[in-house]
Amino acid sequence: MDIRCRKTKCIYNNKYTCTAKEIKISKKILCSTFVKSNKEPIDSSRLIFEKAPDYAPQRESKPKDIICNADCLFNQCQKCEANGITINDIKNCPYCITYLKNDNSKSKNK
């Protein structure tokens, strides 16, 4: 499973890959597993044109339990069924950008 995390100040982030045993996504599409790290991450954006960021190989990404409480297309009984997820740092919050709004509620009303 491809699990990417761009929240570099998280203790579970290892070269943009999540190492947590499980990931919990809240109703507000936030990664509630996020725990702020005390160490300052390397700012790879300063060197982006000189050197590619160091990403962990995907073979190191083990399947994880992804518990999802969001109204998302990939949420199947609070279990994420996506092929992978990406957590991005948006306004200093860890948002799941794999989120796709579930439109099943519209079809039930027709």
Residues 36-83 have pLDDT tens digits of 988 776 655 555 566 666 666 665 555 578 999 999 999 999 999 998
- List of E strands, 7-110: 13-14, 17-18, 22-25, 65-68, 75-76, 79-80, 84-90, 93-96
Q: What is the pTM of this model?
A: 0.76
Residues 6-27 have pLDDT tens digits of 888 899 988 888 888 899 999 9
